[in-house]
Every structure is written in structure tokens, then in C-alpha cells.
Amino acid sequence: MINLSRGKVVDLEALAQAIKSGHISGAGIDVFPQEPESNNDPFLTPMQNLPNVILTPHIGGSTEEAQKNIGSEVASKLLKFVNNGSTTFSVNFPNLEITPLPSGQYRILNVHKNQPGFLKDINSMVSEIGANISSQHLGTSAEIGYLSMVIDKSVGNELKEKIEKHPFSIKTRILY
């Protein structure tokens, strides 16, 4: 068993019992539910002193350099979302890498229930106002869809309000 993701993903008490009973032959753990905040704090885990177990300190993200890089990366991702609608590397949301909006174009961003027929309905709404779709990207998860659509016509709030009234629509945003 290898856990390098999050400390609470694996029940370490249960894993220790599984190793002691021979059900699992070994483990490598780099993250823990409770990690020492400094070198002076004790490090205790039920995984200590077990055969075929490698425990490594989860310090990679705790260095000053890593914290600075993480802060910069998070700020960059937030700016890309606000300015373009990009959701790259999102953990719990469909991932779309969206390029900056071309001059003279307008972007519609929509979060909706992942149900058949939604895109057909939205495309019809855009067509009804006489706009042309320049590009369209869709990302989905089991229950949620995320649509980025670039159109060639300023639509104001009329189209936004129409989309928001759709029974599958959750949130709509227009970028100018």
C-alpha cells in the first residue's frame, strides 16, 4: 500500500492491523493525518516499527520555497479562472484549459447539471439571437458540466437570463 496523496485517505490503524495480520505485506507512507508542525514536535503513528513499512516525512510542501511556489500557483489559477474561465488542475470540478478571449468575441461560461440535451438547448438559444459560435468546450464530471462558449456578438444580459432559466443551468457568467 502506498499513500502519497492526503493523510486522511488511509486509515492507518486499520492498515497497521492488516500488516500485522499479514493481509497486506507492506506500506510506504509519505502523508499522515497528524503531522508534526516543527522538528521539536513528536511524530507518532501506528505504522512505526512495523516490518516492510517505509515512513517518510511529508516536508516537500512545507519548505519556504514550496510555500512561495504554491502561493504563486494558486494565485495564477484563480486569475485564469476569473479572467478566462480556466479550471485546469481542479480537483472537484471539470477541467478546462481556456485561452484568453479573442478581441471582439464574447465568452459564455455555464455550470450545469450533466444531462442530455443541454448543449442543444443552449446552442438553439444562441442561434435565436443571431450569434455565431466561434468555439465551444465542454468538461463534465458525473453530475456537473462546465461549458465555455465563444460567440461573435455582444449579448448583454438577455442571453444570460435565458440560459439561467434553463432547468439544468446552475450558474452562468459572460466575459466581455
pLDDT per residue as tens digits for the range 31-71:
888 887 777 888 889 999 999 999 987 766 667 787 788 88
Of residues 170 and 35, the one with the higher pLDDT is 170
At 57, list the grid cell.
Answer: 516525512
pLDDT bracket for residue 173 (50, 70, 90): very high
In a 13 Å sphere around the CA of 51, the CA atoms on its Cβ side amount to 8
Three-state SS string across 6-75, please?
CHHHCCHHHHHHHHHHCCCCCEEECCCCCCCCCCCCCCCCCCCCCCCEEECCCCHHHCHHHHHHHHHHHH
Rounded to an integer, the average pLDDT of 65-90 is 90
Predicted TM-score (pTM) above 0.85: no
Q: Is the dihedral of CA 151, 156, 158, 163 positive or negative?
A: positive
Residues labelled catalytic: 6, 35, 58
Q: What confidence tens digit (pLDDT) does each residue in 126-141 have? A: 999 999 999 999 999 9
**Hey, what domains does the chain have and what are their CATH numbers?**
2-58 (no CATH), 85-175 (3.30.70.260)
